[in-house]
Amino acid sequence: MEELELIPGLSRSAFGGATTTATVTQLTHVSKVFLEPKRREVFTDVNMRVKRGEFVALAGPVGSGKTTLVNLLAGIERASSGSIQVLGKETTRLSGRELTTLRLASLGLVPQVQNLMQEFTVSQNVELPLFFLGEGERESRLSRVREVLVLMGINADAERKVADLSVGEKQLVSIARAMVKDPPLLVMDEPTESLDPLVSEVILEMLRGDNALRAKTLIIATHDKRIIELATRTVRMNAKIHA
């Protein structure tokens, strides 16, 4: 990978690494209203607490607000009102730059729409978070990348360009990139949607209790009954959530 300039201030130390609090996320009286293209009220009163080590499935039909809730937790969307705490930080008070740092340092996000670098290789894509965090020498970073690629069953594709991968393979790369920095919180949005059975099974095997996920907190938006059955708790989505 060609050398890139590190973004000043983006470091794991800025947010203290892994959280030490029992509560990983807490939403209190959160509402979300979209004004464009027309006013649409998604949430009116969301109250949800997730403790360290929980595996929470966000379940509900299309349009119930699962992706919006994921985006609120990740700081991609701003709440219209209320309080959101993630890993001990009140995210509603953070600047855009501080939210970027929080996501990069402490949160593994797998969005519904993949945002991989298409002209980069699999290995380069997975290495990116470690690079921007300034995590060690390159050989050390690549060693960690190989570990995660082996875990996801895609080490043989390490030097392939992402543009040449199938949709399912890209999803595995996206998950690997979220996991490579060993974040205390993983948030995924429909990770098995529209995937072939083999790729879905790889993801499900990981969620069934792989060592890499021990002591991590998982929040997964899904309508996949298999994931819901694996979760320790299911939050059913509607206009008002108290969980």
- Residue 153 included in any domain: yes
- Residue 36 included in any domain: yes
- Residue 3 included in any domain: no
The residue type found at 155 is: N
pLDDT at 142 over 80: yes
Give residue 202's pLDDT: 87
Distance of CA 57 to the CA centre of its chain: 13
- Residue 11 included in any domain: no
Q: Which residues pair with 107 in a beta bridge?
A: 185
- Residue 96 included in any domain: yes
Give residue 205's pLDDT: 86
Indicate the number of domains in the chain. 1
Q: Cα dist. 92→73, 74, 81, 125 in Å? A: 10, 11, 9, 29
Cis bond before residue 37 (omega within 30° of 0): yes
Rg (CA), the chain: 18
- Residue 16 included in any domain: no
| CATH number of residue 154's parent domain | 3.40.50.300
- Residue 6 included in any domain: no
Kindly state the average pLDDT of the residues 154-158: 95
Which of 190, 242, 233, 220 is closest to 44 using CA atoms?
Answer: 242
Average pLDDT, the chain: 86
Query: What's the maximum distance between 2 C-alpha atoms anywhere in the chain?
Result: 50
pLDDT digit string, tens, across residues 184-218: 999 999 999 888 888 898 889 888 876 557 678 99
Q: Which residues span the domain enclosing 30?
A: 22-242
pLDDT at 114 over 60: yes
Q: Which of 51-60, 77-86, 195-204, 210-219 bottoms out in mean pLDDT, i.e. has the lowest?
A: 210-219
- Residue 5 included in any domain: no
Compute the distance between CA of residue 132 and CA of residue 104 in angstroms, rounded to an integer: 8
At 84, is the pLDDT very low, low, confident or very high (cuts 50, 70, 90)?
very high
Residue with tokens 């600047």: 95
Give residue 8's pLDDT: 34
